[in-house]
Structure 1
Amino acid sequence: MTELDRSRLYAWFCDHADEPLAEYLMSCLAPAPLADIATKADTGDLAARIDALAAQRETDRIATKADMRD
């Protein structure tokens, strides 16, 4: 549902009911297309990416003076 669709639907609800009911009905709808909403299945992939970035950061870090002496 686009933002324009959401706005038109909200206006229609306000015209045919009242504003508190329109607010409630809109809060029941997904704020974005369902395909764009993150799920629990996405968290595993995200955790793996974070771990990979952390490992890469360790290997790519800048040498300190102490590292150069060793």
Structure 2
Amino acid sequence: MALDNAVAESFFKTLKTELVYHCRFTTRQEARLAVFEYVEIFYNRERRHSALGYLSPCQYEKIYLSNKVAA
């Protein structure tokens, strides 16, 4: 069985392009904090994703859950 990791590869390309290549981290802790903030604050709450109809993951989840409760 072949596993398709295109989603993961796309995420890490985006992470590197939008964050890592623009920063110079002095410690691992600084890098961890920057990645955490990028993922939890920007990527999940603000960044729009074409696969989700140009909604952020948080917006998409909110709509999904409200539709699930209504059904």
Which of the five TM-score ranges fits, normalised by the shorter chain? 0.3 to 0.5
Q: Which protein has the bigger helix share?
A: 1
TM-score, structure 1 normalization: 0.41
